[in-house]
Amino acid sequence: MADTTRLLFIRHGESNATVEQRISGEATCTGLSDLGRQQAAALRDRFAAGHERAVDVLYSSTLARARETAEIVSPALGDLPIVERSDLVERRPGVADGMLFTDFVEQFGRPDELANPFQPIAEAGESRAEFHYRVGNGIAEIVLQHHGKTIGIACHGGVIDVVMRTFMGAPVVGLFEIWALNCALTEFSRHTDDDGKDGSWRIHRYNDAAHLAGLPPRTMQ
């Protein structure tokens, strides 16, 4: 029987860490800013208006900014339970967790990841290659578990970058750069034919943020 599996990625709303210009991982994430909550509420209202395809299951990164986004949106998805997965978190920064961006650059510089994608971002942190493998493996498990369903995933810009590169057969770094907007939607689908053969992943939209019209692009300091 033919089926279509859909992945609907939701980048989290603006975070407190972004406002503070701070690297924030599992040790220091404090969730969404006031604007981030408004962004998530706007996305919730978009789903509630009935203009989006029904979502069958809702996943979230374990980081507070992604989980809070999923919690705000979930009521418009039929109060779906939120399944948290640590393999959906943003790239792990190790000892840089909590550092200001400026302090990070001063201490660690700007590593040439194109030359060495296996270099950790900082001590005890992940390399680009490790991050790519961790996220790719997690998404593959989710897809296998929910074949033929529409899967919502509240996550991070880096996670969406990994998925884009994986589905396009691109290297873990280089060739192009993307920048997922806060609370934007990115959607992929894959069709399985009557013989059980999976087709290629197709991208339907990237950075769909129409629901954010009228909101400021970021919190002004």
Give percent helix, percent strand, percent coil of the chain, each to the nearest 5. 35, 20, 45
List 150's β-bridge partners, or say none.
6
What is the CB neighbour count within 10 angstroms for residue 81?
7
SS3 149: coil
110 Cβ contact list (under 8 Å, min separation 6): none
What is the CB neighbour count within 10 angstroms for residue 7?
24
Element at 140 (helix H, strand E): helix 128-145
Predicted local confidence at residue 221, as pLDDT: 65
Dihedral sign (CA 132, 111, 122, 68): negative
The token duo for 122 is: 């900082």
Rounded mean pLDDT for each run of 10 residues along the chain, 221 residues in total: 90 98 98 98 98 96 98 98 98 98 94 94 97 98 97 98 97 93 98 91 97 94 65
Phi first, then psi: what are they for 75, rounded to 5°? -55, -30
Per domain, the residue ranges of the chain are 3-212
Predicted local confidence at residue 51, as pLDDT: 85
**How do 202-208 and 185-192 pair as beta strands?**
antiparallel
Adjacency order of strands within the sheet including 57-61: 82-85, 57-61, 150-155, 3-11, 185-192, 202-208
CATH T-level topology, domain 3-212: Rossmann fold (3.40.50)
Phi first, then psi: what are they for 52, rounded to 5°? -115, 155
Predicted local confidence at residue 195, as pLDDT: 87
Q: Is the pTM of this model over 0.85?
A: yes
